[in-house]
Amino acid sequence: MFSKLVHPTTKSLKIIIVGNGKVGHTLTEQLSKEGNNITVIEKDASVIADLDAQFDIITIKGNGASYNTLKEAGVEDADLFIAVTGSDELNLLCCTIAKQFSKCAAIARVRTPDYSQEVAYLRDKLGLAMIINPELESAREMARILYLPTALQVNTFAHGQAEMIKFKIPEGNILDDMTIANLGKHVTHNILICGIERAGEVVIPSGAFVLKADDILYFVAKRDEARKFLKNIHIFTKQVKNTMIVGGGLSTYYLANELLHTGIDVHILESSFERCNELSTLLPDAVVINSDVSSQEGLLGAGLKDMEAFVPLTGIDEENILLTLFAKKVSKAKVITKINRINFSDVISDLDLGSVVYPKLITSEAIIAYARALRASRSSEIETLYHIFDSKAEAIEFRITEASPAVGKELKDLQLKKDLLIAFINRKGKIIIPSGSDTIEIGDTVMIVTTHTGFTEIRDILR
């Protein structure tokens, strides 16, 4: 059983989750761990048995669109209702019925492109708190990486005005053996290194920390400053000109669409002739090739060696991994590997897979952020949440809505918890890399990075 982390200053939520596939299971694990009361509705008896063995939750075998089933689950007094079955229509129907009998906030997973173009309309008309699309969100993350291919990961905050970038310090780089304090004095003070992983250990660093080659680090900066910093440390990067995508599913459609709109040439390899015809109609500017996606000869014949980026999106983790390793062997392409399962994240992190994207984590992070916001007082709200370093740390952006003990005092006077760093303050669109004399004010958004978990509001940063 997973133990619950009960937060002393916030209430537990009553949450109903319909469907327990990859995303549903991740949500069940994390939301239960954070001290919420979880009820899962699932049709598959074997899935129910596994859940009962792993978690301290309530499980109900049944149809999440049935009022009787929802009544048994206690929908009338639920705080949050999440529908993440494999069917968009069923998810929307479940949420609609739940909203008829409850004042709960409702979230639906919707993946079909037709529906994704109507998100605002559906959310408004159905009264949903959120509609989330894992394939679209992961495609956007992959596109951000291809715009800055030196990065292993690029996360955005402050509505895109600030970025948190993950990269590995190369051998012989000027950062090797440099303290963070000296970096600020001699290279730039416009970025903030907010997390470092070395030999599997994660550190929230002080100015005395000495950087080493092969360290994996996250830094935060304004978007233009991030690129200047990489140039200053002799890591030159520019947007890729072309990309090969393997597989023709929804993720491929969304990623190709993102890349084509920014002028990146896209080549798609897909084994189904019918799907190739569909993609050619949907993406007329892409080159669509009908080929055996697991054939080395087919990949080479399609021009893999000349590609600047390679993204396998077959839907099968093992195949994606093998395709990535082959691409790295025969080309200099920037590679992104999409992984659906996170059970073996420690093993995967030891492989040289380039940038690794987990769609179900992207989905669960958005929902977990919303759930924490529901639990919090009104002094602050969670805008954005990312799990980093294989969930060993969190990056959270809070919007400050009311006075609290963390507001109005110089940062040097705040009694901050250990293993925590204030990364930036966004004040009316101006990104401030904070010093000890800066303050947090009402109306700001504030990003913190910490190895603690479960923060729901800004006062949680204080001892």
Assigned domain for 368 exists: no
324: phi then psi, degrees, rounded to nearest 5:
-60, -45
pLDDT interval class at 344 (50, 70, 90): low
Within 8 A by CB and 6+ apart from 196, the residues are 202, 203, 205, 209, 211, 215, 216, 217, 218
Q: Residue 408 is part of a domain; what is its CATH number?
A: 3.30.70.1450
> CA-CA distances (angstroms) from residue 434 to 184, 189, 192?
13, 10, 9
Contact in structure between 38 and 57 (CB atoms under 8 Å): yes
Q: Residue 122 is part of a domain; what is its CATH number?
A: 3.40.50.720
- In the predicted model, what is the mean pLDDT of residues 104-116? 90
Query: Is 146 found in the same domain as 121?
Result: no
Query: Is 353 found in the same domain as 317?
Result: yes
H/E stretch holding 41 reads: strand 37-42
| SS3 state at 298 | helix
| SS3 state at 35 | coil
Query: Is 144 found in the same domain as 119?
Result: no
pLDDT reported for residue 223: 83
Query: Is 209 found in the same domain as 152?
Result: yes
pLDDT reported for residue 1: 31
pLDDT interval class at 5 (50, 70, 90): very low
Q: Answer yes or no: is pLDDT of 346 > 80.
A: no
Assigned domain for 172 exists: yes
Dihedral sign (CA 105, 88, 41, 25): negative
Within 8 A by CB and 6+ apart from 35, the residues are 4, 5, 6, 7, 12, 454
Query: Is 271 found in the same domain as 222?
Result: no
Assigned domain for 9 exists: no
- Domain finish residue from 132, 156, 171: 132
Largest Cα–Cα distance of the chain, in whole Å? 66
Query: Is 341 found in the same domain as 261?
Result: yes
Alpha helices, H only, 187-316: 223-232, 250-261, 273-282, 296-301
**pLDDT tens-digit profile of 376-391?**
756 678 888 998 988 8
Contact in structure between 449 and 194 (CB atoms under 8 Å): yes
Least confident of 60-69, 70-79, 151-160: 151-160
| SS3 state at 412 | helix
Assigned domain for 363 exists: no
Least confident of 9-18, 84-93, 124-133, 135-144: 9-18
pLDDT reported for residue 308: 97
How far is Cα 402 from Cα 222, in angstroms, rounded to an integer?
A: 26
Assigned domain for 5 exists: no
Range of the domain at 314: 242-357
H/E stretch holding 121 reads: helix 119-126
- In the predicted model, what is the mean pLDDT of residues 311-327? 94
Alpha helices, H only, 241-316: 250-261, 273-282, 296-301
Total structural domains in the chain? 4
